[in-house]
Amino acid sequence: MAEQQGTPPAAVKGGIVAYLMVEGAQKAADLYKKAFGAEVVHVNPPDEQGRTMHVHVHINGASLMLSDPFPEHNCAYVPAAGFSLMLPVRDVDAVWKKAVDAGLTGNMEPQDMFWGDRYAQAKDTFGIQWAFVGPKKG
């Protein structure tokens, strides 16, 4: 009998898929479930060191993939910098509040922007910057 290899692969959604390396891929997926309603669709079981090689989640109709660092395979951890992940949503205020209530740090409260959208930002405990964009209020 073959050894269990985790959940079966799932369909990849979206034109570009972010693949994030974080210290604690499974913990990040759990946070994203709470903060964004993410659906975990595939997980490789952790190795003997507790590292997860692959977690696939669906958020807001798109795929996001995560892994722990594996420096022995040239995949060492590098802190996130210089990018954000943007979630287009209908209610920026509600989604931002849910994210902050789940443990993200709000670093730009929701506001109507000069370019015509409502916009907010929050950073998760893994150093990932999230941006929320949607229609203006009222």
Whole-prediction pTM: 0.88
Predicted local distance difference test score (pLDDT) of residue 15:
77
Q: Of the candidates 85, 48, 88, 89, which has an alpha carbon nearest to the alpha carbon of residue 66? A: 85
Predicted local distance difference test score (pLDDT) of residue 5:
59
Predicted local distance difference test score (pLDDT) of residue 19:
95
In degrees, rounded to 5, the angle at the alpha carbon of residue 44 between the alpha carbons of residues 39 and 46 is: 115
Q: Of the candidates 123, 99, 120, which has an alpha carbon nearest to the alpha carbon of residue 38? A: 99
What element of type H or E holds 94? helix 92-101
Cα separation of the two ends of the chain? 60
**pLDDT below 50 — which residues of the chain?**
1-4
Distance (Å, rounded) from C-alpha 78 to C-alpha 22? 8
Predicted local distance difference test score (pLDDT) of residue 41:
96
Q: Which residue has the tokens 């972010």?
A: 18
- Domains of the chain, earliest start first: 18-71 (3.30.720.100), 85-135 (3.10.180.10)
Predicted local distance difference test score (pLDDT) of residue 3:
47
Distance (Å, rounded) from C-alpha 98 to C-alpha 81? 23
Q: What is the pLDDT of residues 3-34, one digit of tens each?
A: 445 677 777 887 789 999 999 999 999 999 99
What element of type H or E holds 86? strand 85-88
